[in-house]
């Protein structure tokens, strides 16, 4: 178990976060409690080697699609406000929703884009809104690939190979040509450069959940016989080229991380593939890996042993770069469990939607954050527009 830090760092956290009334007037002594004279490990600051950028705590708002932005990919004031409120609420890192790097990589309505300079003014407003509250902002970059439907983009979806199946409504993707692959790699790099120009501290490449990067990594979705397909080392080439091209188009201070799924059965990507990918990435100029567990209690068998995903990722990374982990973390105990599994940063999704000031609940003797279902009033006060609340109705039992 990792050593916890003293309350000096917690004080730093408090002094920078004064909006939410519960934080007012919290002094040094009040910070001692649930953890004796020690603070919750997710409230300790962290300094990235790159920059160096110091984050005031290890609480991460994970990327969450919220369908609030404009058809042309420009950020709406509602999307900006909901993210700013999480910075104001004390998250050390605020990650945006998945944003498409190519015009035709758009996965759903209301998604914001980073494929044009026209998007920079909105991105700039968001980046400065997040920084003004002392948080670090990352944009999550993605291309939907076979999950960028023709009904949204007007063109046939593309992927590593011709793929159909779940979520494609009977349609089939077209295999990308070599020059198109190179163009999308450049799109990732140009998008990252726009994010840096707008004032974001970094980006998270979305290699999880079955979108284009994951489609290249998976043996079922990537059946190519050229240099982009075959063994994992070849299927990884697309991701590898994205990482190195993003690096070439951004400054040495710009943080670049990667989100991965530990297992994606439908794509043909298993835990061994995931950990081999982590190993290959550990030798690149990446600054963090984010394992998207969906549930941090989920386990996998590797090297004849069964352990939670986060433990395996941490085992392979072996301290070479920080590890973020997300999935079913609701309260301080859950967050502590993720840290004990080897996470350096604790990511949250749904609890951060309902509780903009979630890090506050990690303090001593706090009550538990309320659990779903949430009323529309509660969610409106938490900064969700009607469109976002409506989208959350699709998440079982979240909205009452
Ligand atoms: C409304 C919603 C939208 C999401 N959108 C994204 C997304 O754009 N990119 C992504 O990587 N994950 C996305 N996720 C997954 C979350 O980042 C997170 O991994 C997941 O919700 C599990 O964490 P939780 O149990 O704390 O909610 C989304 C989750 C929710 C609930």
Of all protein residues, the one whose alpha carbon is nearest to atom 20 of ligand 1 is 349
Each residue of 374-398: pLDDT tens digit? 999 999 999 999 999 999 999 999 9
Of all protein residues, the one whose alpha carbon is nearest to atom 21 of ligand 1 is 349
Of all protein residues, the one whose alpha carbon is nearest to atom 15 of ligand 1 is 64
pLDDT of residue 25: 24
Residue 100 has pLDDT above 80, yes or no: yes
Atom of ligand 1 nearest to the CA of 347: 26
pLDDT of residue 215: 98
Note whether residue 114 is domain-resident.
yes
Q: Which of 42, 61, 65 to mutate to test the pocket of ligand 1 (most atoms within 8 A of CB)?
A: 65
Atom of ligand 1 nearest to the CA of 140: 9
pLDDT of residue 201: 98
Calpha distance 133→119 (Å, rounded): 22
Note whether residue 329 is domain-resident.
yes
Within the chain, residue ranges assigned H as helices are 7-15, 77-88, 120-132, 150-153, 178-198, 212-217, 232-235, 237-249, 271-282, 309-317, 332-340, 350-354, 376-381, 386-392
Q: Which of 59, 61, 64, 111 to mutate to test the pocket of ligand 1 (most atoms within 8 A of CB)?
A: 64
Number of domains comprising the chain: 1
pLDDT of residue 37: 54
Cis peptide before 373 (omega within 30 of 0): yes
Note whether residue 325 is domain-resident.
yes
Note whether residue 1 is domain-resident.
no
**In sequence order, what are the residues at sequence separation of 6 or more whose Cβ sits closer than 8 angstroms to the Cβ of residue 268?**
218, 219, 220, 221, 222
Range of the domain at 81: 7-369
pLDDT of residue 35: 57
Note whether residue 30 is domain-resident.
yes
Each residue of 65-99: pLDDT tens digit? 999 999 999 999 999 999 999 999 999 999 999 99
**In sequence order, what are the residues at sequence separation of 6 or more whose Cβ sits closer than 8 angstroms to the Cβ of residue 377?**
none
Residue 15 has pLDDT above 90, yes or no: no
Residue 31 has pLDDT above 50, yes or no: no
Atom of ligand 1 nearest to the CA of 330: 26
The CATH number of residue 211's host domain is: 3.20.20.70
Q: What is the mean pLDDT of the chain?
A: 91
Note whether residue 381 is domain-resident.
no
Note whether residue 380 is domain-resident.
no
Note whether residue 294 is domain-resident.
yes
Residue 356 has pLDDT above 50, yes or no: yes
**Residue 97 CA, ligand 1 centroid: distance in Å:** 9
- Residue 366, classed as helix, strand or coil, is coil
Calpha distance 343→322 (Å, rounded): 8
Atom of ligand 1 nearest to the CA of 398: 31
Residue 272 has pLDDT above 90, yes or no: yes
**Residue 331 CA, ligand 1 centroid: distance in Å:** 17
More confident residue, 19 or 280: 280
């Amino acid at each position: 178990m990792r050593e916890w830090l003293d309350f000096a760092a917690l004080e730093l956290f408090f002094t920078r976060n004064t909006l939410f009334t519960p934080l007012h007037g919290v002094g040094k002594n009040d910070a001692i409690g649930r953890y004796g004279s020690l603070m919750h490990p997710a409230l300790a600051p962290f300094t990235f080697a790159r920059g160096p950028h110091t984050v005031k705590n290890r609480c991460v708002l994970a990327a969450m699609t919220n369908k609030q932005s404009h058809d042309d990919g420009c950020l709406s004031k509602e999307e900006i406000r909901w993210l700013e409120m999480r910075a104001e609420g004390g998250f050390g890192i605020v990650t945006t929703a998945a944003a498409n790097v190519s015009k035709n990589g758009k996965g759903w309505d209301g998604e914001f884009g980073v494929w044009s300079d026209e998007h920079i003014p909105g991105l700039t407003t968001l980046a400065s809104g997040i920084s003004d509250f002392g948080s670090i902002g990352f944009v999550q970059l993605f291309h939907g690939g076979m999950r960028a439907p023709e009904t949204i983009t007007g063109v046939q979806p593309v992927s590593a190979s011709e793929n159909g199946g779940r979520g494609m409504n009977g349609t089939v993707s077209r295999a990308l040509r070599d020059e198109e692959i190179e163009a999308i790699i450049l799109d990732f790099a140009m998008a990252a450069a726009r994010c840096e120009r707008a004032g974001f501290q970094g980006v998270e490449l979305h290699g999880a959940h079955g979108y284009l990067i994951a489609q290249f990594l998976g043996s079922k979705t990537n059946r190519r016989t050229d240099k982009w397909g075959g063994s994992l080392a070849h299927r990884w080439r697309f991701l590898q080229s994205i990482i190195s091209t993003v690096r070439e188009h951004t400054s040495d201070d710009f943080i670049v991380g990667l989100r991965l799924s530990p297992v994606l059965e439908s794509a043909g990507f298993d835990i061994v593939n995931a950990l081999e990918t982590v190993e290959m990435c550990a030798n690149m100029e990446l600054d963090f890996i984010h394992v998207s567990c969906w549930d941090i209690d989920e386990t996998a068998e590797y090297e004849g042993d069964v352990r939670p995903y986060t433990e395996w990722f941490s085992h392979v990374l072996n301290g070479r770069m920080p590890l973020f982990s997300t999935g079913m973390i609701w309260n301080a105990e859950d967050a502590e469990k993720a840290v004990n599994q080897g996470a350096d940063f604790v990511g949250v999704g749904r609890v951060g939607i309902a509780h903009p000031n979630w890090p506050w609940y990690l303090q001593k003797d706090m009550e538990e954050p309320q659990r779903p279902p949430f009323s529309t009033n509660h969610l409106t006060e938490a900064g969700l527009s009607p469109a976002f609340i409506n989208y959350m109705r699709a998440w079982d039992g979240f909205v009452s």
